[in-house]
């Protein structure tokens, strides 16, 4: 079955086609989301939301881009929306603590991506913490290219920008990461 027939099956509500879609893209979606939200359970929840969104929106898929590109866009959008929501909750929690309303203090666990081998876990955790400090567009480009192994052309489709734009985002992301991580590596 080619992509056009597959998408047609999805649009017809074929549950076997949707199961096949989830099986084909679940790892890609989970790894992308995990690279952004950096909490395993949260990444699972957001990944489920991605597939719910795909199921609900499949009739809106026009085929202007590849199906995988469309799913990546949804995954990135959902992950960034979740991250914004968590930042807002954190700000409200800090504000409550300042004005004396006690709240249960959240603990941030060390982040470990499943694609990172054991020897590099500490370095990876430091890198992912530094990634959180990058502007969204730079972080998305960096994660898609470095963590997901995508080409500049694929990332330009997902981010809806030119290849030169992606190159610029990567250049700025690397420069910013160098500056952020300079203190860490100079202390070693």
Position 182 scores a pLDDT of 85
Position 109 scores a pLDDT of 43
Residue 180 burial by Cβ neighbours in a 10 Å radius (0-12, 13-18, 19+): middle
Position 57 scores a pLDDT of 93
Domains, in order of start, for the chain: 1-109 (1.10.1740.10), 114-188 (1.10.10.10)
Output the pTM of the full model: 0.68
**Residues 66 and 151 sit within 8 Å (Cβ to Cβ):** no
Q: Write the DSSP assignment of the chain as a string of letters.
A: --HHHHHHHHHTT-HHHHHHHHHHHHHHHHHHHHHHH--HHHHHHHHHHHHHHHHHHGGG--SSS-HHHHHHHHHHHHHHHHHHHHHHHHHHHHHHHHHT---PPP-PPPP--TTS-GGGHHHHHHHHHHHTTS-HHHHHHHIIIIIS---HHHHHHHHTS-HHHHHHHHHHHHHHHHHHHHHHHH--
Residue 98 burial by Cβ neighbours in a 10 Å radius (0-12, 13-18, 19+): exposed
**Euclidean distance between CA atoms 61 and 182, whole angstroms:** 43
Position 45 scores a pLDDT of 95
Inter-CA distances, 109 with 2, 32, 114, Å: 43, 19, 15
Position 107 scores a pLDDT of 38
Position 167 scores a pLDDT of 96
Which residues of the chain fall short of a pLDDT of 50?
103-110
**Residues 53 and 74 sit within 8 Å (Cβ to Cβ):** yes
């Amino acid at each position: 079955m080619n992509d056009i027939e597959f998408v047609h099956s999805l649009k017809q509500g074929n549950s076997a086609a949707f199961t096949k879609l989830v099986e084909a893209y679940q790892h890609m979606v989970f790894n992308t989301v995990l690279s952004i939200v950096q909490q395993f359970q949260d990444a699972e929840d957001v990944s489920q939301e991605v597939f719910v969104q795909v199921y609900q929106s499949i009739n809106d898929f026009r085929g202007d881009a590849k199906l995988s590109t469309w799913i990546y866009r949804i995954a990135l959008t959902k992950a960034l929306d979740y991250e914004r929501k968590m930042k807002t909750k954190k700000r409200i929690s800090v504000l409550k603590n300042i004005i004396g309303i006690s709240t249960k203090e959240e603990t941030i666990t060390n982040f470990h991506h499943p694609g990172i081998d054991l020897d590099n876990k500490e370095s990876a955790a430091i890198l992912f913490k530094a990634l959180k400090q990058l502007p969204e567009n730079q972080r998305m480009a960096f994660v898609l290219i470095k963590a997901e192994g995508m080409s500049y052309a694929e990332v330009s489709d997902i981010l809806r920008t030119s290849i030169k734009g992606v190159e610029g985002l990567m250049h700025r992301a690397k420069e910013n990461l160098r500056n952020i991580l300079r203190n860490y590596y100079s202390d070693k």
